[in-house]
Amino acid sequence: PAGPAQAAGAAPAPGPMDLRGLERRTLRLTPFTTDLQFYRLTPDGRSLLLVAADPAGKDIGYAIDLASRQPRVLFQRPRGATTMYEADAKGQTVLALGAAGIDRYDVATGKADGSVPFNAEMTRDAQAEIAAMFDHAWRLTQVKFYDAKMHGVDWDQVGADYRRYLPYVQQWEELVEILNEMVGELNASHQGSFFTPSGAERDATASLGVYLDEGWRGAGVRLVEVLAGGPADRSRSVLKPGAVILAVDGQPVTPETELAQLLNRKAGQPVLLSVRPAQGGAPVDETLTPVGLQQEAMLSYQRWVDKRRAQVEKASGGRLGYLHIPHMAMPEYLSAYGDLFGRYRQAEAVLVDVRFNRGGNLHDPLVAMLTGQGLAELVTRDGVRIAEVPASRWTRPSALLANAGSYSDGSVFPALYQRLKIGPLLGESVPGTGTAVLWENLLDRRLDWGVPQLGFKGRDGRFFENQEIVPDIPVGADPAAVAAGRDPQLERGVEVLLQQIGPVRSAR
């Protein structure tokens, strides 16, 4: 019988949803894989309305019958011509907001059903926007900062002290400066603001993948080194150490017209160089395609790693391996794993280097990988060892290099390495920057704001943040030695590991 709140003949009141086995109630609605721009299920549950990005540069609107899984094309629009898509409450019309107004498409027929002119103007108050972004950044830090005590700082007073400068802000960079000064009162890492300018007018210098002689005073620029894997690294190239680049695309390289200026916006475009060979003689022409500075930086980094790997292998007679981990992310882990159990599978110990590490989240797998204990080995019938068991964890000695540039998770890992006594920690003291950050765009999307919202805390109850990590074996980076091409920290790491593993063992 109907209850007092339910009239006779009325539909029964909905009961609680049965969520048991919800994870297994999945059904694919689209018959193809695509880049979805918009989707809506019609209220009757019979059709799926969606807009997909087509590789040919169009947005295609579909109505998919969920019983037959057959898609029906409703409309096609140029890619980028639509700001947003929406459907009406009944699922009978798809609306597309474009520059000229709102276009309507009838779902039943797919025909355009008229357009509604639309034009909205907005009056911007720059000072109000500045105040709003400041208040948002201040408030977000107040509610998200990993230490509820705000490092002992009176955050209300700090906000009041810096808010009084806002009426004088004229440029976004000035607001960034105020925000950074304000948050600097907390003395923490992973925080602050930065401004990313936009526009095609910015310089974009390209690189030939060469190092130049800064003391050269003759015509053009003289090469001292060619980066391996770079544009100039070709067997038949005349660009060798000692060669002189005299012109780019017919324009002479002079003190007034520098090479960088002639390569501006030339990344990915062939350029014609006039080069005097290293052995002298008449200039010759050579065409190559420069790369961007980011690619040049990767080539320079690989050069740095290759040099240190060679130094370690030479100094140890091939007994030691060398790993540099620049970033705490899975690609770097896979690279380290491949080197450790591939290139260095026969090495007796490994020197791990996290100097200048930019952070990420990789401390757990690294710790696990370096703390294996040998239990058995895989050998051939004549006693040749093929692999150790466990085969995916390093069971031999290691040492760790770190410096003040080991940041974020790049500082958490040395702290854990030292606390677990995995091996000796060498180098310079590492500032504790063990927090996880929240980055977000502000009202003006060119401004970003970061807040350290999670903190690593040890069993002693202390946060890693602002705790100095003092190496077991302090080794400074002597500028004179570095300028001479040496790496004192690396050299000391090799000595320590060689002392640890002892003299060369005789063959079986």
Q: Is the dihedral of CA 325, 326, 330, 334 positive or negative?
A: negative
pLDDT of residue 2: 44
Residue 352 contacts residue 399 (beta carbons within 8 Å): yes
Q: Which residue stretches of the chain have pLDDT < 50? A: 1-4, 507-508
- Residues contacting 163, CB < 8 A, separation 6+: 131, 134, 135, 138
Q: What pairing do the DSSP bridges indicate for beta strands 320-324 and 385-389? A: unpaired
Residue 61 contacts residue 94 (beta carbons within 8 Å): yes
CA gap 233, 227 in Å, rounded: 7
Nearest Cα to 350, choosing from 412, 411, 400, 425?
Answer: 400
pTM: 0.79
pLDDT of residue 1: 41
DSSP category for residue 437: E
pLDDT of residue 154: 98
Residue 342 corresponds to which tokens in the numbers above?
């591939």
Residue 423 contacts residue 417 (beta carbons within 8 Å): yes
pLDDT of residue 12: 66
pLDDT of residue 9: 59
